Amino acid sequence: MPTPPLAGGTAGPTHLRPLLDTVLTALHDGATRRNGPLPAGGPDTVTHHTRTTTGPVLPDHGTGPHHALRTLVTALTEGAADPAHPHCAAHLHTPPLALAAAADLAASALNPSMDSWDQAPAASALEADLTRTLATEIYPHTPHPDAVITTGGTEANQLALLLARERHGPLQTICAANAHHSITRATWLLGLPRPVVIPAPRGVMDPTALHDALTTLTGPLLVTATAGTTDTGRIDPLDHIADLTTTHGADLHIDAAYGGPLLLSPTHRHLLTGLHRAHTVTLDLHKLGWQPASAGILAVPDHHHLTPLHHHAPYLNADDDTEAGLPDLLGRSLRTTRRPDALKIAVTLQALGRDGLADLIDRTLTTAHHLADLIDQHPHLQLYARPTISTVLFRPTGTDDTHVATIRRTLLDQGHAVLGRAHADGRLWLKATLLNPHTTPEDHHRLLTLVTHTATRTRTTPAPAPRPAAPPAPRTPAPHTTTEGSNPR
């Protein structure tokens, strides 16, 4: 076999073009074969089908680029949970914009690594502009805001807690019951005390409970609030929380992984009032920013706040290189080799502009309100609450939690819909996290019909009353009777 060609250089595009043609055909064919938001049959069927169609991962003799691309990309597409399908709405799993995916191809072909200037001369300049621009959106009132690019909200939250620990030593974190699980994990990773968890009635942090915690606890404190919770998409009262942390001298981190991009919508940015008062802000653009994973941000109001991340490795940022003017990039992440995620983000911001981004955000929030309206008007469905961002919780009326979970799994098994699950007010709900701006009212109608039909078909009939003709044997409860709230967490 000839030596495989490379993606870069002047010859790279010539070699890529026919390969891309094969990839695009495979993406199309795989999606056609799936014909729904995810493959039918559940894990065993999909695993078996994927294994048999893809063949050995490492054969003795290679099958060649076109065959391998066609085989594996078709199989992966056929077996995908495709967020571009309007009935794929379980998670903050975004349908990437075509233009962002195209930009990501260029990032892969060029492969700049963001840990030193000599691997990423222009990419590091673009990343610096992009991070400054995004940080300025969050912190418009400080002269030198800055941000680092992360693999997502999890890494951004870890960095936020790390920076707080570097400011104060092993401080106590306070979060509400609605906080993302990565906050607790970050305290574990960083050797910090477990967070003090305060109540979040109706899905938002209770400021009275926060006041009590800030009054009772001693030593340095970090409050982490959430702008767009994973379960209900609610936003904590940020300004009120910032007042409390200011009064009590505590630091504030806001996890705006989901809600952060609302800043770009003049219609909805008021929901984030107070965001700029945080010491650190997490934001994900692979959620309400339509980027392929990954595209996370941690922003700070002043670039000096990132100094604790500075690190020295003579082969990447020797002092004399830095003095001679080579940008020192190693302190922009805890990672070393790092993809230029700035490229796809910058392409998206430039291609859409402020008005295009605002329109995309507003459109998406409108679809959520529309779905909520339909549920509200539906005689057999119950709406948890009006959506704050784009998360809609609902459940068929007259069901219990076990049945709600069964409906979700049945839809997954059939490949008809991907809905999430969330506990709220002591009950289990179906969760639609809407991130697809192309979703139509007809899509919503079809989704709700799927849910109500599945609910009817999977309803466990109550144990029949003993018939008069039946022998008077003592009855034990029917084994299939479901119990409200029996669902383990």
Ligand X SMILES: *Cc1c(COP(=O)(O)O)cnc(C)c1O
Which of residues 152, 260, 274, 340 is near ligand X by CB under 6 A?
152
What is the total count of residues that contact ligand X (CB under 6 A)? 15
Shortest approach of ligand X to residue 180 CB, angstroms? 3
In the bound state with ligand X, the residue whose beta carbon lies nearer, of 284 and 401, is 284
Angle of helix 98-110 relative to helix 12-34, nearest 10 degrees?
140
Closer CB to ligand X, 301 or 420, in the complex: 420
In whole angstroms, the minimum distance from the beta carbon of 288 to ligand X comes to 10
Residue 154 in contact with ligand X, rule: CB under 6 A: yes
Cα 170 from Cα 190, distance rounded (Å): 9
- Rank residues 272 and 450 by Cβ distance to ligand X and give the closer one: 272
Single out the segment in contact with ligand X by CB under 6 A; choices: 96-104, 150-158, 206-214, 264-272: 150-158
Considering the complex, state which of residue 39 and residue 261 has its C-beta at the smaller distance from ligand X: 261
- Tokens of residue 285, six digits: 């653009």
Q: Which is nearer to ligand X, 69 or 156 (CB)?
A: 156
Asked if 454 touches ligand X (CB under 6 A), the answer is no
Task: Choose one: 110-118, 124-132, 152-160, 454-462; the region binding ligand X (CB under 6 A).
Answer: 152-160
Residue 199 beta carbon to ligand X: minimum distance, rounded to whole angstroms = 18
Task: Identify the H or E element spanning 346.
Answer: helix 342-377
Binding to ligand X in span 420-439, by CB under 6 A: none
Among 78, 127, 206, 284, binds ligand X (CB under 6 A): 284
**Rounded distance, CA 190 to CA 454, Å?**
45
Q: In the window 204-243, what residues touch ligand X (CB under 6 A)?
A: 226, 228, 230
By CB under 6 A, name the one of 296, 340, 415, 437 that touches ligand X: 296
Is residue 4 within 8 A of residue 65, CB to CB? The reply is yes
Residue 229 or residue 454: which is nearer to ligand X going by CB? 229
* Residue 427 one-letter amino acid: R
CB of 27 to ligand X, least distance (A): 24
| Ranges within 86-125 binding ligand X (CB under 6 A) | 92
Looking up tokens 């704050």, which residue turns up? 388
Residue from 80, 252, 257, 272 binding ligand X (CB under 6 A): 257
Q: φ, ψ for residue 28 (rounded to 5)? A: -65, -50
d(CA 326, CA 315): 13
- Which residue lies nearer to ligand X by CB, 154 or 172? 154
Q: C-alpha angle with apex 351: 349 to 355, nearest 5 degrees?
A: 70
Q: In angstroms, give the least distance from the CB of 195 to ligand X.
A: 14
Please, are residues 219 and 246 in contact by the beta-carbon 8 Å criterion?
A: no
* Gap between the Cα atoms of 251 and 279, Å rounded: 6
Least distance to ligand X from the beta carbon of 483, Å? 31
| Residues ≥6 apart with Cβ < 8 Å to 63 | 55, 71
- Contact partners, residue 447, CB within 8 Å, separation at least 6: 86, 87, 89, 371, 417, 432
Which residue from 114, 158, 187, 258 is in contact with ligand X, where contact means CB under 6 A? 258
Rule CB under 6 A: is residue 153 a binding residue for ligand X? yes
With a CB cutoff of 8 Å and minimum separation 6, the contacts of 145 are 132, 135, 136, 138, 139, 299, 300, 301, 302, 303
Query: Which lies closer to ligand X via its Cβ, residue 152 or residue 203?
Result: 152
| CB neighbour burial string for 67-81, b if at least 16 within 10 angstroms, e if fewer | eebbebbbbebbbbb
In Å, what is the CA distance from 287 to each residue of 32, 114, 292?
Answer: 25, 23, 9
Could you tell me the end-to-end alpha-carbon distance of the chain, in angstroms, rounded to an integer?
Answer: 54
Nearer to ligand X, 257 or 262 (CB): 257
At closest approach, how far in Å is the CB of 75 from ligand X?
25
Residue 229: CB minimum distance to ligand X, A: 6
CB of 257 to ligand X, least distance (A): 4
Which of the ranges 147-155, 167-175, 194-202, 319-327 carries the binding residues for ligand X, by CB under 6 A?
147-155
Query: How do 296-300 and 391-396 pair as beta strands?
Result: unpaired
With respect to ligand X, which residue has the nearer C-beta, 82 or 284?
284
For ligand X, the closer of residues 92 and 162 by Cβ is 92
Q: What is the residue-wise DSSP string for 19-68?
A: HHHHHHHHHHHHHHHH-SSS-TTHHHHHHHHHHHHH--SS-SS---HHHH
- Interface region with ligand X, contact rule CB under 6 A, candidates 41-49, 251-259, 307-315, 344-352: 251-259
Does the protein bind ligand X through residue 255 (CB under 6 A)? yes
Pick the closer one to ligand X by CB: 78 or 255. 255
Q: Is 182 in the site for ligand X (CB under 6 A)?
A: yes
Give the separation between CA 341 and CA 123, rounded to whole angstroms: 9
d(C-alpha 76, C-alpha 148), whole Å: 32
Distance CA 301, CA 310 (A): 17
Tell me if 387 contacts ligand X by CB under 6 A.
no
Chain residue at closest Cβ approach to ligand X:
152
Q: Which residues bind ligand X (CB under 6 A)?
A: 92, 152-154, 157, 180, 182, 226, 228, 230, 255, 257-258, 284, 296
